[in-house]
Chains A and B, each alone.
Chain A
Amino acid sequence: MTREVIGMAFILVGIMFDFFGVLGLVRLPDVYNRLQAATKCVTFGSAGILLGVFIIQGFNNFGFKALLGIVFIFLTSPVAAHAIARAAHRSGIPLTKETVVDQYQEDNELKD
């Protein structure tokens, strides 16, 4: 019984952060900021949900699959974010007007 209550608490916190991440995806001004908010919050939220499922289920094969899912999400989602950010910058999608500095652009112009 206690196990289920703790697991449900983890799931609730996870869904809350999922929601904040998606809100950031809608509200923030350009691709890079959206990527920041969405990657951090949705990764953490989904990991929280899977941890809650693991706590409720315990050490059977459902629980182990959830644990494997946590490891998998933590390894893959930053890599995908990095690839998308680099591709966006190289294909020339502009940063928002509020940007103060872009040292990547400066270095690229130096090389050419």
Chain B
Amino acid sequence: MRLLRWFIGLLIIAAFLYGNFFIYDGIILYKLINVILFCALFVLFRVLFGPSPADRIVAVDILGILIVGLLAILGLVFDQSFFMDIGLIWALMSFIASLAFAKILEGRYLDD
């Protein structure tokens, strides 16, 4: 049963990679951005169906780091360095947000 589920997952990933790299017609950087967006889809699965609140916080934290990489590649596509500014600020805000969520999860609030 477990092996069957693993195999189905492998098939889905292989189908996505085949469609992205051999059927989709675009420059290589767009294909790489598609892979990162596929990863973000997995993270969104964890945000929506995470059994506990901590799972959702982990997913949001990871999404912040993924987006930094995506913005760097997007900056390469358009050859503009301000995308990296957005990425740096995004990483900063996501870090602070993770710390704040963790503090609230622990049961402490602003005045502690």
Q: Contact at B62–A69, with CB atoms within 8 Å?
A: no
A53-B75 contact, Cβ under 8 Å, with A26-B45, A66-B84, A69-B88: yes
**Max chain A C-beta neighbours (<10 A), residue from B45, B66, B75:** B66
Q: Contact at A42–B66, with CB atoms within 8 Å?
A: yes
Partner of A15, one of B32, B57, B98, B105: B32
A46-B69 contact, Cβ under 8 Å, with A15-B35, A22-B62: yes
Q: Contact at A49–B69, with CB atoms within 8 Å?
A: yes
Q: Contact at B88–A68, with CB atoms within 8 Å?
A: yes
Contact with B along A25-45 (1 / 0, CB 8 A): 110000100110011001101
Q: Which B residues are in CB contact (< 8 Å) with A23? A: 42
- The A contact surface, by secondary structure, is helix
Q: How far is the CA of A10 from the CA of B36 in the complex (A)?
A: 15
Partner of B65, one of A42, A60, A86: A42
Q: How far is the CA of A69 from the CA of B95 in the complex (A)?
A: 13
> Could you tell me how many residues of chain B have their Cβ less than 8 Å away from some Cβ of chain A?
43
Q: Contact at A73–B68, with CB atoms within 8 Å?
A: yes
Which parts of B16-49 form the interface with A (CB within 8 Å)? 28, 32, 35-36, 38-39, 42-43, 45-46
Q: Which A residues are in CB contact (< 8 Å) with B65? A: 42-43, 46, 73, 77
Which parts of B50-83 form the interface with A (CB within 8 Å)? 52-55, 57-59, 61-62, 65-66, 68-69, 72-73, 75-76, 81
**Max chain A C-beta neighbours (<10 A), residue from B73, B87, B98, B102:** B102
> Could you tell me how many residues of chain A have their Cβ less than 8 Å away from some Cβ of chain B?
48
Q: How far is the CA of A59 from the CA of B65 in the complex (A)?
A: 24
A31-B54 contact, Cβ under 8 Å, with A18-B66, A46-B66: yes
**A residues in contact (CB < 8 Å) with B:** 8, 11-12, 14-15, 18-19, 21-23, 25-26, 31, 34-35, 38-39, 42-43, 45-46, 49-50, 53, 56-57, 60-62, 65-66, 68-69, 72-73, 76-77, 79-81, 83-84, 86-88, 90-91, 93
